[in-house]
């Protein structure tokens, strides 16, 4: 851990506090320790621009040491109350928009954002429009098909939702509004009464 602190000090351009057990003297400089000579040399190095590793290391350390304000944990009841599925209410009979994500023969696997996807038959009319990625309208019958099978005591789920395919979802093509001309505008103005 001490070597990481020393590396941080060097990279930030501060002097590294040195603890030396030996008091060796440099023969060329009398009265000075060799660590003092090295410290002067490192001050020259501090003036240089930091390299790629040093820059990345400092950026990473700043990210780690930056204090983030943690969000207070929310209770499950609060999360559930604020979820979009609670706003939906009773899902039976609701019309939702889904996306076809898989097709096997005439079975369309449609994801509408619920817990489970639904499987619907491809209609005979306009069957060429029902391709992977197409958006479709669905009427939800049940969010999860589950029942007791073969006399079991527990409900067994099919991991599917039950929905009725209503058709392709078409984004509303905006009809051009009729242009109001000056002739029609004058005709629609109320006449001034004397």
- Residue finishing a domain among 33, 65, 97: 65
Domain assignment present for 175:
no
* pLDDT value at residue 81: 81
- Residue finishing a domain among 12, 33, 65: 65
Domain assignment present for 189:
no
- Residue finishing a domain among 38, 65, 92: 65
Whether 87 and 60 share a structural domain: no
Domain assignment present for 178:
no
Domain assignment present for 29:
yes
Contact 148, 180 (CB under 8 A): no
Whether 8 and 56 share a structural domain: yes
**How many domains does the chain fold into?**
2
Q: How many CB atoms lie within 10 A of CB 5?
A: 11
pLDDT in tens, the chain (194 residues): 566 666 666 666 665 555 545 444 444 444 444 444 444 455 555 556 667 888 888 887 777 666 666 778 888 888 888 877 677 677 788 899 999 999 999 999 999 988 889 999 999 988 899 999 999 999 999 888 887 676 777 777 788 899 999 999 987 655 555 554 444 444 444 555 55
Domain assignment present for 188:
no
Q: Report the predicted TM-score, pTM, of the whole model to 2 decimal places.
A: 0.46
* pLDDT value at residue 28: 46
Contact 131, 103 (CB under 8 A): yes
Contact 137, 155 (CB under 8 A): no
Q: What is the DSSP string of 52-77?
A: HHHHHHHHHHHHHHS---PPPPPPHH
- The parent domain of residue 12 ranges over 2-65
Whether 44 and 102 share a structural domain: no
Residue 134, class by beta-carbon neighbours within 10 Å (0-12 exposed, 13-18 middle, 19+ buried)? middle
* pLDDT value at residue 103: 95
Domain assignment present for 160:
yes
Whether 55 and 117 share a structural domain: no
Domain assignment present for 76:
no
CATH number of the domain where residue 107 is located: 2.40.50
* pLDDT value at residue 25: 46
Whether 94 and 141 share a structural domain: yes
């Amino acid at each position: 851990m001490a070597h990481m602190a020393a590396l941080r000090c060097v990279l930030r351009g501060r002097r590294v506090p040195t603890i030396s057990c030996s008091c060796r003297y440099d023969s060329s400089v009398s009265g000075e320790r060799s660590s003092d000579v090295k410290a002067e040399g490192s001050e020259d190095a501090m003036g240089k621009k930091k390299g790629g590793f040093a820059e990345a290391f400092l950026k990473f350390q700043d990210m780690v040491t930056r204090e983030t304000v943690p969000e207070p944990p929310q209770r499950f009841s609060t999360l559930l109350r604020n979820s979009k599925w609670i706003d939906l209410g009773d899902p039976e009979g609701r019309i939702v928009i889904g996306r076809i994500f898989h097709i096997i023969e005439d079975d369309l696997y449609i994801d509408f954002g619920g817990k489970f996807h639904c499987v619907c038959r491809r209609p005979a009319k306009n069957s060429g429009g029902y391709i992977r990625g197409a958006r479709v309208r669905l009427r939800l019958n049940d969010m999860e098909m589950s029942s007791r099978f073969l006399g079991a005591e527990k409900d067994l789920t099919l991991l599917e939702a039950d929905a009725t395919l209503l058709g392709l979802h078409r984004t509303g093509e905006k009809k051009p509004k009729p242009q109001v001309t000056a002739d029609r505008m004058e005709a629609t103005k109320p006449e001034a009464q004397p």
